[in-house]
Amino acid sequence: MKITGDIDKASLSLEIARQPVPFKEEEVMYSLRVSKQSVISFEKLACREMSVRGVRPAMARMVAEELGDALRSWLSAGHAVNIAGVGTLRPVVNSKAQTRPHDCSVDDIRLAKLRFYPSLEMKEMFRDAHYHIRNREEFLAKWEREQNGEEE
């Protein structure tokens, strides 16, 4: 499945973020992060399917709900699930290492989570993305004021 339509190429809005340096109270570093966008609702996905593919919203909702049930069922059984054109979800655990295999037990599990491995199409979409920094001028102006000792 090829991703088509209005999402062929990612266009990500970035922002400059200030981060304290661990263990150095006086120092800070700056880096870029993806600006937080709204969460796309189930209804919006169903409406998109209706307009792009001609599927009724109720049918799209029903298929998506069944997909969610199937994902939970397969993933909870330990299977990796590949979603065509999107990627693979795989259940993983982080556990404490032991020196002897006899000492391993489920009590050693620190964290259980899902790992997402994007498809080649998804990787290409983000590799070829267009990026822009949303808050650059305002952030730099604020930083200049702070450096000059001005209060806001």
Return averaged pLDDT per consecutive 10 residues of the chain, 152 residues in all: 50 85 81 84 74 76 84 93 92 92 92 94 87 86 82 50
Q: What is the reported pLDDT for 10?
A: 74
Enter the pTM of the model: 0.64
Q: What are the boundaries of each domain within the chain?
A: 80-129
3 burial class (0-12, 13-18, 19+ CB within 10 angstroms)? middle
Q: What is the reported pLDDT for 77?
A: 93
Q: How many CB atoms lie within 10 A of CB 20?
A: 11
Q: What is the largest CA-CA distance in the chain?
A: 63
Nearest to 73 by CA among 91, 88, 61, 92: 91
Q: What is the reported pLDDT for 1?
A: 37
Render 38-96 in DSSP notation, one character per residue: PPPPHHHHHHHHHHHH---HHHHHHHHHHHHHHHHHHHHTT--EEETTTEEEEEEEEE-
